[in-house]
Structure 1
Amino acid sequence: MAGRGRASGSGAVALVLLLVCLVGCGGKPAATTDRKDLQRVLDRRASAVLDRDRTAFLRTGALSWFENLRGVPLASWSYRVTALHQSGDTTATADVELRYQVQGYDKAPVTAGRTLTLSREQDGQWYVDAETPAEKSAQQLWDQGEVAVVRGAHSLVLGVGQTSEALHRYADLADRAVPAVTGAWGPDWVGHVVVLVPKSLDGMAGLLGSPASSYRGIAAVTTGEVGGAPNAPADRVIVNPDAYAVLGALGKQVVLTHETTHVATRAHTSAATPLWLSEGYADWVGYRGTGRTPDQAAPELARAVADDEVPQALPTDRDFGFSGDATKLAQAYEGGWLACRMIAGKWGEAKLGEFYRAVGDHRTRAGSVEGALKKVLGTTPEEFTEAWREYLRDQLG
């Protein structure tokens, strides 16, 4: 009996020590509780955003960008805490994943990394002092100012620092682009487009999370996941208003149609797709039906052909670098466009679309173009390249 009594006492001491360690060693339970408390605050914050409830939002933190988002149609908005970094009993920062959907346009949530600066109130609740893009993450449009919204027949245009008239002009261009793209590519896509128009080039760069110098002179870009599944978030066409403003009426339409083509073809664009094909096809759709001749649409290559400097090969992906030589970049786009124009003229527009899909649906870059050339067009890379070079001489000579 005595032995059993001593064993019982040792067990009680061990249990007490274990409890002390669990509560005091490293503070894990407290950290876990804090993280759960923060998640509950952010759940209420998300509900306030969806309900447009300013008072409820203020209970979770500073007003910040809340009013800027007022006009944006939202189908969902949620936060997920991924890390909590406490710097004291009453201050902390948190890494958070924001997920949201634009009503009627996004089939799945768009994801954005956010950083929260936090303080703890007297009642123990976390309070969001600031919410900003995470390091190396892009801004959201409402981080830049109040978002104005214009709905088109096939488009949603969101702008900051733009007049209503300007945004309606973008919507008109996008509404013409969508049926033009469908006429070329077919109905196998969402059939609408979201256009973001920031105030300036710097705003565009912020939305892309890149230096402004990377996009100087670029009128617009399209963001999105290449090879995206059918339920992937809708792409965003992001405009550089500084460069876009200097374009003529035709140029503005070609650019919007080009970028809308990227939205339509995204599910069949993958790492297997060379840029001469993805950019060339987008330009082909953009110029389709405009009456622009090769000499007019490909002036840099026309000059090269006139100087007997016909390219030896199709443009490489590196040739499309925005920060490289401007003439080389222009020739890359023009060369891709003329390659697609040649396919459409020699094999037919339907075959061009079939070729594009066959290349993008290949598992890897290696063999993608070769296989599609053989299967769809009945030719080889060598024969195709020589035909393209001859086409340049014929069309631009």
Structure 2
Amino acid sequence: MSVTSPLPPPAHAGEPAQPLVVREPTVAIIPTQYRPPDRGGYSGYAAPGYTPPPNYYQPVIPSQYPSQYPRPVYLPPPRRRRRGLAAAVVVALLLVLGAGGGAAAFVAAGPDGVARSLGGPGKAGTAPDARDTAIIEVLNRRSKAVNSRDKTAFMADIDKTDAELTKRQETVYENLIKLPFAEFSYKIGGGGGYDDSIPTELKTKYGDQVRAPGVAIIHRIEGVDNDPVAAPWVPIFALVSSQWRLVGEAKGKELPSGVGGQPWDAGPIIVEKGEKVVGIFSANNRSRAGTLIRIADEAMDQVALVRPNQWVGKVFMTAVRDRAVFDAYFGASPERVDQVAAIAVPHYDDVPDWNGTANYSATRVIFNPDEIDEDNDVLSADMSHEFTHAAMAPVTTGWTPTWLVEGFAEYVSYKGAQIDTNSLKRALDGVQTENLFAGEQFYDEPMNYITAWLANRMISETYGETKLIQLYERFQQTSNEEVVISQVLGVPRATLIKNWQDYVAKQKR
């Protein structure tokens, strides 16, 4: 994950050196759950008996976080965001998908998009089996309508007495059929669903004949995704004139993060395809869309210099003007939206709130609408930082220290950059280098981005870039920095720290 560097956009070979202006980072979430050295496993951080896969992303967990939540989401204190050429523009938040909602038993939809089971307690007035079967049939028809481009069928199961809902669903349909899906289906869960999130007015209108199940929208973007990706959705169904119909969509901070935050949830969209990036933009922003895709492809080229393989090499990016799409990831902390420029969200083959064994499948990058018109040089540098997180996602674990996660992304973003030495000296004046920090402590000091970048650059210069990457990858096996540094670099951690301190001091002279 990343907050952007306090460094300016890099100048590369043949370009004039950029003055280094300290940029204050915005809020950030480390993509992994930190465990101090010598604490293996997920003991104390996960529900008893739960063992996530090695590449399962979890954020930093504060000590005071209630122990009853197996997959917490941590948001560190907000930081101001400055605008302009030297601003902190993009913050990559590799969020675990929400901590809300109860566990649900799921049965996967088949390749034909047919959902197999709903489950959950019954409601008075309609036998559970009949009700659940009817809702499953609605979802089956919906997925088939998307795959066959049949708007009439898609709209047939919507309560047309709600004009606003009807209009909204027409836009959703038009957006869905514009997306280059290689696969699209639904997966629905039982457990109690989210009936407590049904608005009072709908409960009053439909009585007991209303239901809000958790639904995973399983999809693959053609040319981007190798594996299925799950997006959470909480539709509300009710019995209308003896037929189960879609009557609304649940909202609220108790829902999984990302509900309402998918590209099809925006207003009218367009799709722009680059060589390595597929981007979703607002339909009225077509001219900017082409520029952003070009910048994104160039940023991907920068990432490929260091990470040419070992990952899919493609990114799906959303940069729409619809603020609600971005805000959907901040349900528990809406006051922090304005401090965040973009988020890089890990997605899984199921919704982690509902399936503790979900496997990482892809990282999506989503922009704050306020940042879409930022300076191209700033966006380029920040995109390369964000895309580095996506590139390293398959080997980033809950044990990867923050100084390495963030410093490596800065290293890639500034690889080959011509940094003005006098500006660097000024930026490092008074900077503290007592340690390289892991966990949330890293974000307490914005200058840790510069010092972590210098640590990664020093390792690459001293031991070689291959060793730097090996160091990063080795944290798939253990959280013990002493062991990993000794095994990969052949020196004690204390020696690495001393060498890094000397390296930083050298930049000051």
- TM-score (normalised: structure 2): 0.63
1:317 matches 2:445: no
- Residue 158 of structure 2 contacts residue 245 of structure 2 at CA under 8 Å; is this kept in 1? yes
Question: Which is higher, the Rg of structure 1 or of structure 2?
Answer: 1
3-state SS of the aligned residue for 2:343?
A: strand
Quote the offset at 1:234 in angstroms.
Answer: 2.1
How many angstroms does 1:219 deviate by?
3.2
Aligned to 1:353: 469
Q: CA deviation at 1:196?
A: 1.1
Is contact 1:141-1:160 (8 Å) kept? no
Match of 2:7 in 1: none
State the distance in 2 between where 1:45 and 1:257 align.
Answer: 37
Match of 1:126 in 2: 244
Alignment match of 1:234 (pick from 342, 345, 362): 362
Separation in 1 of the partners of 2:156 and 2:323? Answer: 35
1:113 maps onto 2:208 in alignment: no
Note the C-alpha offset of 1:344: 0.9
Q: Which residue, out of 405, 422, 430, partners 1:304?
A: 430
Contact 2:317 2:364 in 1 (8 A): yes
User: How far 1:47 moved relative to its partner?
Assistant: 0.8
SS in 2 for 1:270: coil
1:199-278 correspondence runs (5 A): 199=321, 203-207=325-329, 209=331, 211-224=333-346, 232-243=360-371, 245-246=373-374, 248-278=375-405
- Aligned mates of 2:257, 2:360 — CA distance in 1: 19
Matching residue's letter, 1:269: T
Q: CA deviation at 1:337?
A: 0.8
Corresponding position: 1:51 with 2:148: yes
Write the distance in 1 (CA, Å) between the matches of 2:126 and 2:323.
47
Contact 2:230–2:347 (CA under 8 A) maintained in structure 1: no
1:387 maps to which residue? Answer: 499
One-letter amino acid of the structure 1 residue matched with residue 433 of structure 2: P
Tell me, what secondary structure is at the counterpart of 2:406?
helix
Change (3 A) 1:30 1:60: same
Secondary structure at the counterpart of residue 232 of structure 2: strand
User: Which residue of the other structure, out of 449, 455, 470, is the alignment partner of 1:339?
Assistant: 455
Of 36, 40, 54, which residue of structure 1 is paired with 2:137?
40
How many Å apart are 1:147 and its aligned residue?
2.0
**What CA distance in whole angstroms lies between the structure 2 residues aligned with 1:109 and 1:52?**
21
Rounded Cα–Cα distance in structure 1 between residues aligned with 2:425 and 2:178: 41
1:362 is matched with 477
Q: CA deviation at 1:355?
A: 1.2
Give the superposition deviation at 1:28: 10
Residues 78-157 of structure 1 correspond to what in structure 2 (within 5 A)? Answer: 78-83=185-190, 91-98=209-216, 99-122=218-241, 124-132=242-250, 135-138=255-258, 139-157=261-279
Q: 1:120 to 1:249 in 2, by over 3 A?
A: closer
Structure 2: gaps (5+ residues):
1-121, 160-165, 351-356
Residue 377 of structure 1 is aligned with which of 473, 480, 489? 489
Which letter does structure 1 place at the counterpart of 2:229?
V
Give, in angstroms, the shift of residue 374 of structure 1.
0.8
Correspondent of 1:67 among 167, 174, 177: 174
Q: CA deviation at 1:349?
A: 1.2
**TM-score, normalised by the number of residues in structure 1:** 0.80
| One-letter amino acid of the counterpart of residue 150, structure 1 | E
The alpha-carbon distance between structure 1 residues 29 and 59, as it changes in their structure 2 partners (threshold 3 A), is closer
2:414 to 273, 278, 287: 287
For 1:200 and 1:34, the matched residues in 2 are separated by 35
Mapped contact 1:189–1:265 kept (Cα < 8 A): yes
Identity of aligned residues (%): 26
Does structure 2 retain, via aligned residues, the 8 Å contact 1:225–1:266?
no
How many pairs were matched up? 355
Provide Cα deviations, 1:206-246, integer angstroms capped at 9, x if missing partner.
Answer: 246553543534433311159x99x8432111122424644
What is the CA–CA distance in structure 2 between the aligned matches of 1:55 and 1:396, rounded to whole Å? Answer: 67
Tell me the distance in 2 between the aligned counterparts of 1:162 and 1:223.
25
SS in 2 for 1:184: coil
SS in 2 for 1:105: coil
TM-fit CA distance, 1:26: 8.6
- Relative distance call for 1:223 and 1:97 in structure 2 (3 A) is same
**Partners of 2:125 and 2:208 within 8 A in 1:** no
Q: How big is the shift at 1:255?
A: 0.5
Aligned twin of 2:25 = none
Whole-angstrom CA distance in 2 between matches of 1:111 and 1:81: 11
**Distance across 1 between alignment mates of 2:302 and 2:223:** 21
Deviates more, 1:348-357 or 1:160-169: 160-169
Distance of 2:468 and 2:499 partners within structure 1: 15
Deviation at 1:391, TM superposition (A): 1.0
1:308-364 CA-partner distances (Å, limit 9, x unpaired):
xx321113322344xx6xxx2x212112111101101111111111111112x224x
Q: Which residue of 1 aligns with 2:309?
A: 187
TM-aligned CA deviation for residue 383 of structure 1: 0.9
* Two-structure CA RMSD over aligned residues (Å): 3.0
Judged with a 3 Å threshold, the aligned counterparts in structure 2 of structure 1 residues 60 and 202 are, in CA distance, closer, same or farther, namely closer
Map 1:8-27 to 2 at 5 A.
none
| AA matched with 2:429 | R
**For the structure 1 residues 289 and 162, does the alpha-carbon distance in structure 2 shift closer, same or farther, using more than 3 Å as the test?**
farther
SS at match of 2:321: coil
